[in-house]
Amino acid sequence: MSASLGVLVVDDSATMRAVIRDVIEGSEEFAVAGEAATGYEAIRQVHDAAPDLVALDLRMPDLDGLEALGYIMSEAPRPVVIVTALEAGGEEVLRALDYGAVELVMKPSAAGGEREFADRLIRALRAAAMARLTNLRFEPPRERRRRTRPGHVRERHTAHAAVAIAASTGGPRALMEIVPALPADLPAAVLIAQHMPALFTASLAERLHAASDLDVAEAEDGEPLRPGRVYLAPGGRHLEAKRGVAGPEARVHAEPPVHGVRPSGDLLLASVARVFGPRAVAVVLTGMGRDGAEGLRAVREVGGATCAQDRATSIIYGMPAAAAPHAAVIAPLGGIARALAAEVARRVNVEAGSAAGGPT
- The catalytic residue positions are 168, 195, 291
Three-state secondary structure call for residue 332: coil
Direct distance between the N- and C-terminal alpha carbons of the chain, in angstroms, rounded to an integer: 59
Phi (first) and psi of residue 16, to 5 degrees: -70, -35
- C-beta of residue 285 within 8 angstroms of C-beta of residue 171: yes
Identify the CA nearest to 142 among candidates 206, 53, 238: 206
From CA 273, how far away is CA 315, in angstroms rounded? Answer: 27
The pair phi, psi for residue 97, each rounded to 5°, is -65, -35
What 3-state DSSP class applies to 207?
helix
* Interior/surface letters 134-149, b for 16+ CB within 10 angstroms, e for the rest: ebbeeeeeeeeeeeee
